[in-house]
Amino acid sequence: MATIDFEPIKLSYTQRVLKWIKEYNPPWIPIIILSSLLFFGLFANFVTGDPMANDLKARQIAPFTDIHHILGTDMLGKDMTSRLIFGCRSVLLVTAPSIIVAIFIGTAIGLIAGYTGRITDTILMRITDATLGFPSILVAMLLVTFVGTGYIGVIIAVTATTWARFARMIRGEVLSVRERDFVTLAVILGVSPFMIMWRHLFPNVINTLMVMISLMIGQVVLLEASLSFLGLGMSPGEPAWGIMVAEGRQQLLTTWWVSLLPGILITLVVMAFNFFGDWLRDYLDPRMRRSR
């Protein structure tokens, strides 16, 4: 058979990036929101002033009424702008680590339980059920009492209460994927159980995982807020969006912006994750990718 050799067209780096963008059409607004979250989280102290400095003479200034405090001040006269910007940092320091650790543990346990089955599955799933059965705030409170308050305490508590949801979900998906022929073929070929889980099961459950992550981020932010509200998380007054929402609740009728502004930001971030997760899910699925 005669084969025709095509000279591959050489593209410059910029051309390749542009082609990629054109082909996969990444969601710009969510990417902008998430990258500014990253930017402000990393460089909060260069961008804005001290979020803890209170000026009791300038209390409860409404947004867009004072040139020094564009987004207003709270009940203690702390500047809303710098508090909101420093809030990005607490998202990066607490929310992100705790959800990443939860994803890691939950996915691993879900994969192992779903693939090995039998006694391992039973034991792991009963532990998961037990974790899900307890009200998460109660477990979190208990854990924080043991390990102490502060960043590490909150991360451990949030992880301990969210991994189980991932584990349950992933296990369910694995149960259906592992019955498919390509998994059997991998077993026939002598592929080790670890590689089967990593190469064959995991890529096929990423879709579900993506959806779960975007749903869980909102919950994690709220759980952190509740912990702080109960005095078990980060200390009250620290610039975290959840804490700010909780602080503003008592004076919702007069100083509504203290709750509303961080609330809007939480919504924006959660929605950005949602849309980004949607796109990522399609991007990771080769069938969706090529049919665009």
Partner 1 sequence: MSDDIVLKVENLRTHFHTKTGIVKAVDGIDFELRRGETLGVVGESGSGKSMTAWSILGMVPKPAGRIETGRILYHGEDLLQKTDDEMRKIRGSGICMVMQDPLTSLNPVLTIKKQLTETLELEFKEKKESLLQRAIALLSSVNIPAPETRVTSYPHEMSGGMRQRVVGAISISRSPDVLIADEPTTSLDVTIQLQYLKLLKDIQEETGVGIIFITHDFGIVAKMCDRVAVMYAGHIIEQAEVTELFDNPLHPYTKALLRSVPDLDDDVEMLPTIEGQPPDLANTPSGCVFRDRCPDPSDDCRDGNVEMGLIEVSPGHWVDQCCINCG
State the residues that interact with partner 1 by CB under 8 A. Answer: 1, 3, 118, 180-182, 184-192, 195, 199-200, 203-204, 284-287, 290
Q: CA distances (Å), 65 to each of 56, 70, 159, in order?
A: 17, 7, 41
- Residue pair 209/203 in contact (Cβ under 8 Å)? The answer is no
Residue with smaller CB distance to partner 1, 68 or 180:
180
Shorter beta-carbon distance to partner 1: residue 108 or 187: 187
In the complex with partner 1, which residue's Cβ is closer, 133 or 286? 286
Q: Read off the DSSP letter of residue 79.
A: B
**What would the DSSP string read from start to end of 223-271?**
HHHHHHHTTSSSPTTSS-HHHHHHHHGGGTTTSTHHHHHHHHHHHHHHH
| Shortest distance in whole angstroms from residue 273 CB to partner 1 | 22
Least distance between partner 1 and beta carbon 232 (Å):
42
Q: Can you tell me the distance from the alpha carbon of 196 to that of 110, in angstroms, rounded to the nearest whole number?
A: 14
Query: Least Å distance between CB 108 and partner 1?
Result: 19
- Residue 15 exposure: Cα atoms within 13 Å on the Cβ side: 4
Taking the complex as a whole, how short is the minimal distance between the CB of residue 114 and partner 1, in angstroms? 16
Of the pair 125, 223, the CB lying nearest partner 1 is at: 125
Query: Which tokens sit at 242?
Result: 């959840």
User: Which residue in the block uniquely carries the two structure tokens 């969510």?
Assistant: 30
Give the whole-angstrom CA distance, residue 129 versus residue 123. Answer: 10
Distance of closest approach, residue 200 Cβ to partner 1, in angstroms: 5
Give 133 or 190: the residue with its C-beta nearer to partner 1. Answer: 190
Report the alpha-carbon distance of residue 139 to residue 134 in Å, rounded. 7
Closest CA to 218 of 252, 256, 268, 260: 268
By beta-carbon proximity to partner 1, the closer residue of 170 and 258 is 170
- In the complex, least distance from residue 289 CB atom to partner 1, rounded to whole angstroms: 9
Strand partners, 78: 54
Structure tokens at 179: 């019955």
| Least Cβ distance, residue 118 to partner 1 (angstroms) | 8
State which residue, 99 or 205, has the beta carbon closest to partner 1.
205
Tell me the β-bridge partners of 54: 78
